[in-house]
Amino acid sequence: MNHRRKLAVLALPVVAVLPLGTTANAAAATASTARGCVSASSYISNQGAVGVGVMYEWRGTGNLYAQGLYDKVLPVGQRTDCAAGFGWSQARGYYIGPGWCAQLKTTNARGEWYTYDIVRSGQRARPSLGRTIERWEVNPVSCV
């Protein structure tokens, strides 16, 4: 319960400070961060308006991670394989705080991004579509 409040407190200042126009699209984020990326079997990208909790290895739901409900907060415009302090070779799950939903996107066979699903708050394992590299955007949006 304390961790959910902590994430909500983390999210509020970010929303207040960043105008909606600051979020980048997936192509821009990929181009700007690809230089410092590690080789990854999967990554999560955050192109929403607030940070998103991410898990390196999926262990199930509950307080099972470094920060309780997630391992780290992924900043806006970053990927788990590229962001400073991350450099993860995989990202297996994500956490969306109370009052938030997530637009879950991935790429099609041509590499174009499309909306895969809209999910409600809580912990989720990142879907696996059986691809060589699982590319996912988890973009928090208000559930108002």
pLDDT digits (tens, 9 = 90+) for 14-59: 222 222 222 333 443 344 445 689 999 999 999 998 999 999 999 9
Question: CA geometry: angle at 107 spanning 121 and 86, to 5°?
Answer: 60
Q: What distance in Å separates the CA atoms of residue 46 and residue 117, rounded to the nearest whole number? A: 15
| Domain that includes residue 101, residue range | 2-18+27-142
β-strand partners of 122: 96
DSSP 8-state symbol, 93: E
Decide: 85 and 56 in contact? Cβ < 8 Å. Answer: no
Residues 6+ apart with CB under 8 A from 100: 11, 50, 121, 140, 141, 142, 143
Average pLDDT, the chain: 80
Question: Would the pLDDT of 117 be above 90?
Answer: yes
pTM (two decimals): 0.75
pLDDT at 144: 73
Give dist(CA 8, CA 97) in Å, integer. Answer: 6
In total, how many domains does the chain have?
Answer: 1
